[in-house]
Amino acid sequence: MTSSRDWALRSQHAVWHPCTQMKQHEESPPVAIARAAGAWLYDFEGNRYLDAVASWWVNLFGHANPRINAALTAQLAELEHVMLAGFTHRPVVELSERLSALAPPGMSHAFFASDGASATEIALKMSFHYWRHRGAPGKTHYARLAGGYHGETVGALAVTDVALFRDAYAPLLREHPVLPSPAACGIDCAGADAAVDAAIDALEAFLAAHHASTAALIVEPLVQGAAGMAMYAPRYLVRARELTARHGVHLIADEIMTGFGRTGSFFACEQAGITPDLLCLSKGITGGYLPLSCVLATDDVYRAFYADEIARGFLHSHSYTGNALACRAALAVLDIFRDDDVITANRDKALRWGRIAQPIADHPRVRNFRQCGMIVAFDVDRARPGFTRWFAAEALARELVLRPIGNTVYFMPPYVVTDAEFALLVERTLDILDIA
């Protein structure tokens, strides 16, 4: 049988890995995974690794989940895909209906794509085109938050504020205003309220002066992921909704990472009691099984495109839009949420995780320990050069998959992780902190 090392070497020669400096794989080859079950990944020699980052934040209910497997097997016997232009099918209709019912009130129509960045592109285009239809063609800019991340296609990157991803492509990107982030070191830390107040004041002043040229404000509700799991209180979203509505500016909620229970509610927007104009979804939507993303739009946005003229429609498409297999996986995910009352169970689990992780919060090298629902994060003080690679390697040596963001270490495992597995994650992370 081919070994993990053999597969890793073949991958180095044939595969261009994402978000990776490939030269680094000369020293540390990619880990070749043969199979997975629950929260664990297994290589070809049977070594196991706890998937503590949910395979880039997508896996909700574990690998090889038997209920999702069964749904996909049944769908394979019926329909794998049909183009959604001029056709429809049961999974996409049911998924659209159920997402609308779960979303904040008034989000009536679902537009599907394949990935998070595509969802951002769709939302940006919808907002711009809406205002053109409404007789405001001058609304061509988007307000974005410092530290925000919304994807790496050209349009999505233009509203992202992470230099590592933006700088190389700056000549290709339109410039959009950057507003102060409401996120401080954590929801309950000293300075958190002041950061929210300052961000609200800045947004109010900006919209008063620039609403005529601003199509939308785009935000990651409650948690800015790529900024290092930067967290903020829901009241910023409440005021952002009030101010954007007052000034005739769309609010785009990017829940690509925060949706599907990650922050403790099904959608993060629920904690603020708001309805955005456009809601972007992806990652956990299929439980980590298949690529799928979605933009939910209000009826007001949808009606702006509803007309006799073809050119007035939203003429955006992806070949695999509303793929039947992906939609069936997403429906199975929603079934699990419903049948197992996952949100309620996760609230209790999040409290237990917080208690189990308390020794990390007390560690002398840890700063700004924070938690939002099923996301736990902390910063490592006096992090060494090359900290992210070093910490990830030390984690792998201890059967953990962790991928720090700068000096921020975070846990975002599948919801099926047991308390014992979470305790193992904490114990072995403490071992690494002791030698950091």
What is 135-196 written as a DSSP string?
T-TT--EEEEETT----SSHHHHHT---HHHHGGGGGGSPP--EE--S--S-TTSTTHHHHH
242 vs 84, 125, 238, 245, 250, CA distance in Å?
A: 36, 23, 6, 5, 11
Mean pLDDT of 20-39: 94
Q: Are 229 and 262 in contact (CB under 8 A)?
A: no
pLDDT band at 5 (very low <50, low <70, confident <90, very high): very high
Whether the predicted pLDDT of 187 surpasses 70: no
Kindly report the number of other CB atoms within 10 A of residue 304's CB atom.
18
What's residue 2's pLDDT? Answer: 86
Q: In the chain, list all ranges with CATH 3.40.640.10.
A: 70-339
SS3 313: coil
**What's the pLDDT tens digit per position in 269-326?**
999 999 999 999 999 999 999 999 999 999 999 999 999 999 999 999 999 999 999 9
Kindly report the number of other CB atoms within 10 A of residue 276's CB atom.
32
d(CA 354, CA 296): 32
The DSSP output letter for 282 is -
Output phi, psi for 433, to 5 deg: -60, -30
d(CA 62, CA 51): 9
SS3 364: coil
Whether the predicted pLDDT of 181 surpasses 70: yes
What's residue 191's pLDDT? Answer: 84
Buried-state track 328-337, b at ≥16 Cβ within 10 A, e below 16 = bbbbbbbebb
pLDDT band at 184 (very low <50, low <70, confident <90, very high): confident
d(CA 268, CA 237): 10
Whether the predicted pLDDT of 186 surpasses 80: no
What's residue 13's pLDDT? Answer: 92
What's residue 306's pLDDT? Answer: 96
d(CA 378, CA 430): 12
pLDDT band at 189 (very low <50, low <70, confident <90, very high): confident
Whether the predicted pLDDT of 229 surpasses 90: yes
Please state, for a pLDDT cut of 70, what percent of the chain lies above it: 99
| Burial of 256 from C-beta contacts in 10 A (0-12 / 13-18 / 19+) | buried
**What's the pLDDT tens digit per position in 386-397?**
999 999 999 999
Task: Give Rg (Cα) of the chain.
Answer: 22
**Higher pLDDT pick, 44 / 2:** 44
d(CA 400, CA 51): 7
315 Cβ partners below 8 Å, 6+ apart? none
d(CA 337, CA 39): 17
pLDDT band at 383 (very low <50, low <70, confident <90, very high): confident
Q: Which helix (H) or strand (E) holds 117?
A: helix 116-133
Q: In the chain, list all ranges with CATH 3.90.1150.10.
A: 31-64+341-435
What's residue 71's pLDDT? Answer: 98
Mean pLDDT of 162-184: 95
Q: What is the CATH number of domain 70-339?
A: 3.40.640.10
What's residue 156's pLDDT? Answer: 97
Average pLDDT, the chain: 96
**What's the pLDDT tens digit per position in 123-143?**
999 999 999 999 999 999 999
Q: Are 259 and 57 in contact (CB under 8 A)?
A: no
Q: Tokens 């180095």, residue?
A: 12
Summary count for the chain: helices (H), strands (E): 15, 16
| Burial of 18 from C-beta contacts in 10 A (0-12 / 13-18 / 19+) | exposed
Mean pLDDT of 359-373: 97
Query: What single-letter amino acid sits at 168?
Result: A
Strands 366-372 and 375-380: antiparallel
pLDDT band at 151 (very low <50, low <70, confident <90, very high): very high
Superfamily of domain 31-64+341-435: Aspartate Aminotransferase, domain 1 (3.90.1150.10)
d(CA 73, CA 395): 35
Mean pLDDT of 324-330: 98
**What's the pLDDT tens digit per position in 84-96?**
999 999 999 999 9
What's residue 188's pLDDT? Answer: 66
